[in-house]
A and B are shown apart, each in its own frame.
Chain A
Amino acid sequence: MEFLSYLISGISLGSVYAIIALGYTMVYGIAKMLNFAHGDIIMVGGYISFCAMNYLGLPSIVGIILAMLVCTVLGVVIEGLAYKPLRAAPSLAVLITAIGVSYFLQNAALLVWSAAPKVYTPIISGSLSLFGGALKIPYVSILTVVVCLVIMVALTAFTNMSKMGKAMRACSEDKGAAQLMGINVNATISMTFAIGSALAAIAGVLLCSSYPTLMPTTGSMPGIKAFTAAVFGGIGSIPGAFLGGLLLGIIEAMAKAYISTNLANSIVFAVLIVVLLVKPAGLLGRYVPEKV
């Protein structure tokens, strides 16, 4: 029974990682850049929904939608101002810019909302009792898993069937060829950032509902973990991000429960290293041989 409850908390945490990792992986697939500011968008999403619910007294669903809107706009603006001028620049320059954006968001949040941690009110409270109270599943966990599954299915359908989704896949395959076929590459990349940021806002709300401390640095560690998850599953692959996130969450919860609380992150990262050594492109990633 104990095992089951650890497993459930692992799956719930993993679902949050998966949602964040989806944003990472989509942006990486198209723009071929590691968007280090992604984790901080989660934090902004958390704060916006917090303010909407606690200061303005809006219902939680409105808070979530507001957070998604703000984050979407923020993501598109960041892309337009900071990343678009660097399309042709070396990838390290883009990476450093993304780090600059990450510092900017964290410090702006520090000024606006101060360093003192805010206690987040979960969007739903209470838990489901099973087996006569032996197993308690928080409703938040159930919601997180359901939301993650819905997003996953919707996103797969979107990229496979819609016109925009096809354009995205074309861009990630070959930007030049996509442009020749009449695809607006810049608009497609902006769209990807918009979707990724909206997902980050949802992840922020869910993350803060499970772990209710909100600080300007809240997004960093989940961001790094989700990035790891994306690489774990094979960066650029949507099912890979889902699988990677889920596995990472479960491994982390199990390591915390059974091996060591202090070394949980190390175990997660050690598993990642082993997986990458065996499968250098991640679990579901495609290995592209280098042409001479």
Chain B
Amino acid sequence: MKIRSMKRSTRTNLITYLGVIIAFAATVILRDSGGLSRSLTGQLVPICCYMSMAVSLNLTVGILGELSLGHAGFMSVGAFSGVIAAMSLQSAIPSDALRLAVAMLVGAAVAAVAGVVIGTPVLRLRGDYLAIVTLAFGEIIKELVNCLLVGWDSRGLHVALNLTGDKSIADLGLETEGIAIIKGAQGATSTATISTFTAGFVLVLITLFVVLNLKDSRAGRAIMALRDNSIAAESVGLNLTKYKLMAFVTSAALAGAAGALYGLNFSSLQASKFDFNTSILILVFVVLGGLGNIWGSLIAAAALTILPEALRQFSDYRMLVYAIVLILVMLLTNNPTLRSVLSRLRPGASKEKEAA
């Protein structure tokens, strides 16, 4: 009775949370009983990162309605600032879990700043132009991190930019017990891996909580109104820049936190990991899961990260099969005949369409 009287969106949200919790519990049980293969166990943290990347990108692409091709850029910013934070706080915060939390917060904060810097001028552009600028931003971040030299010793952080390719980590003048954190194109090496699957699970829950609450709030309705018709929304007094920036920066911050978790999961990490292809990969999760559909993003992210693993028996052909699957899914989901058949199967959907 109580469930029936709930709002439809609240019910969907509860089911989403419940689904994630059940999936987490099931995975932990499977892992501890040895039911998961080694490669799959190694994929658990990345899957959590990709899930929250997909949900946060869905905020920009699905809910705000702006195409972003540089989401991996924010992930990169978060990853490297998180790694720097975690490595330099190694003696200050002995607890791994606490240090991971701090690193993720730092990653989120720095990525949010990057989001404001890039978002303020760029959100004035529209459609494909916004897409190309976010793409450009992702590439710029990649090259900047490739030039970055960061070390830490008792005197604090040392940072240098290797612009012409003639500097190395030795030029930072670190004390002997100092640690080199980021070595230019080599990236972050010998990072202490402190990410855990539980942290990933918490990150996914927090991401879901933030995005779902934002979506169902007053601000979220304003953002969706801007997406559907920006002129009409502005004429009823909605502040275009404020709401666009709100969604964009939230999305960037969540990507930063996911990046920090990702960065602290690998002992070695290069900036080239977060290139255009990674941005596209996450966009594929969002589009296949359905624009604006949060649990769709979760499932698509998990399924498409496992799929290349599952296709391992095809060895050389697996990426080819992946590409074909991608094209076929897009063709089938946009097939008008199939769509009308599907909508007839779901009685609720046709009503929704008429209402819209």
Chain A residues close to B by CB (< 8 Å)? 28, 34, 82, 85-86, 88-90, 92-93, 95-97, 99-101, 103-104, 106-108, 110-111, 220, 224, 227-228, 231, 235, 259-263, 265-266, 269-270, 272-273, 276-277, 280-282, 290, 292
Contacts and interface: CB of A to CB of B under 8 A. Distances in A.
B330 A273 contact: no
B231 A111 contact: no
B139 A89 contact: no
Contacts of A106: 319
Interface string B58-84: 000100000100000000000000000
Nearest to B277: A220
Nearest to B131: A34
Contact of A100 (B126, B129, B165, B326): B326
B327 A34 contact: no
A262 B164 contact: yes
- Going nearest first, the 10 A-B pairs with the smallest beta carbon separation are A269-B136, A100-B326, A103-B323, A104-B323, A89-B334, A100-B327, A260-B163, A107-B319, A107-B320, A266-B143
A85 B335 CA distance: 8
Interface stretch (B9-17, B220-228, B282-290): B282-290
Given A89-B334, A96-B283, A273-B137, A108 B320 contact: yes
Contacts of B231: 290, 292
Given A100-B327, A266-B139, 15 more contacts: A34-B128, A82-B327, A86-B331, A92-B291, A100-B324, A103-B323, A107-B319, A227-B132, A228-B132, A231-B129, A260-B147, A262-B146, A262-B163, A265-B143, A269-B140
A264 to B, nearest CB: 8
B128 A231 contact: yes
12 contacts: A34-B131, A99-B284, A99-B326, A103-B319, A103-B326, A106-B319, A262-B163, A272-B132, A273-B122, A280-B124, A280-B129, A290-B231
B284 A96 contact: yes
A101 B146 CA distance: 30
Interface in B121-159: 121-122, 124-126, 128-129, 131-133, 135-137, 139-140, 143-144, 146-147
Q: Which of B323, B326, B333 has the most CB of A within 10 A?
A: B323
Q: Which of B135, B280, B322, B331 has the most CB of A within 10 A?
A: B331
B316 interface: yes
A18 B326 CA distance: 30
A258 B354 CA distance: 61
A111 B136 contact: no
Interface of B: 61, 67, 121-122, 124-126, 128-129, 131-133, 135-137, 139-140, 143-144, 146-147, 162-165, 231, 276, 280, 283-284, 287-288, 291, 316-317, 319-320, 322-324, 326-327, 330-331, 333-336
A262 B165 contact: yes
Nearest to A262: B147
A6 B288 CA distance: 45
A106 B146 CA distance: 25
A88 B336 contact: yes
B281 to A, nearest CB: 9
Contacts of A86: 330-331, 334
Nearest to A87: B334
A30 to B, nearest CB: 15
Given A96-B287, A97-B327, A273-B137, A261 B144 contact: no
A282 B121 CA distance: 15
Contacts of B144: 263, 266
B328 to A, nearest CB: 9
* Secondary structure type dominating chain B contacts: helix
B139 A265 contact: yes
Contacts of B128: 28, 34, 231, 235
Contact of A82 (B316, B319, B320, B331): B331
Contact of A280 (B125, B146, B163, B324): B125
Contacts of B126: 280
B136 A100 contact: no
Contacts of A259: 163
Contacts of A82: 327, 331
A263 B319 contact: no
Contacts of A88: 336
Nearest to B283: A96
Given A92-B287, A262-B164, A104 B129 contact: no
B323 A100 contact: yes
Contact of A97 (B125, B276, B331): B331
A266 B139 CA distance: 7
B324 A104 contact: yes
Nearest to B231: A292
Contacts of B132: 227-228, 231, 272, 276
Given A93-B287, A265-B143, A276 B129 contact: yes
B322 A103 contact: yes
Contacts of A292: 231
Contacts of B336: 88
A231 B133 CA distance: 10
A179 to B, nearest CB: 18
Contacts of A273: 121-122, 133, 136-137
Contact of B164 (A34, A85, A261): A261
A290 B229 CA distance: 11
Contacts of A269: 136-137, 139-140
Nearest to B287: A96
Contacts of B283: 96, 99
Contact of A96 (B121, B276, B288): B288
A262 B319 contact: no
A39 to B, nearest CB: 11
Contacts of B291: 92
A34 B132 CA distance: 10
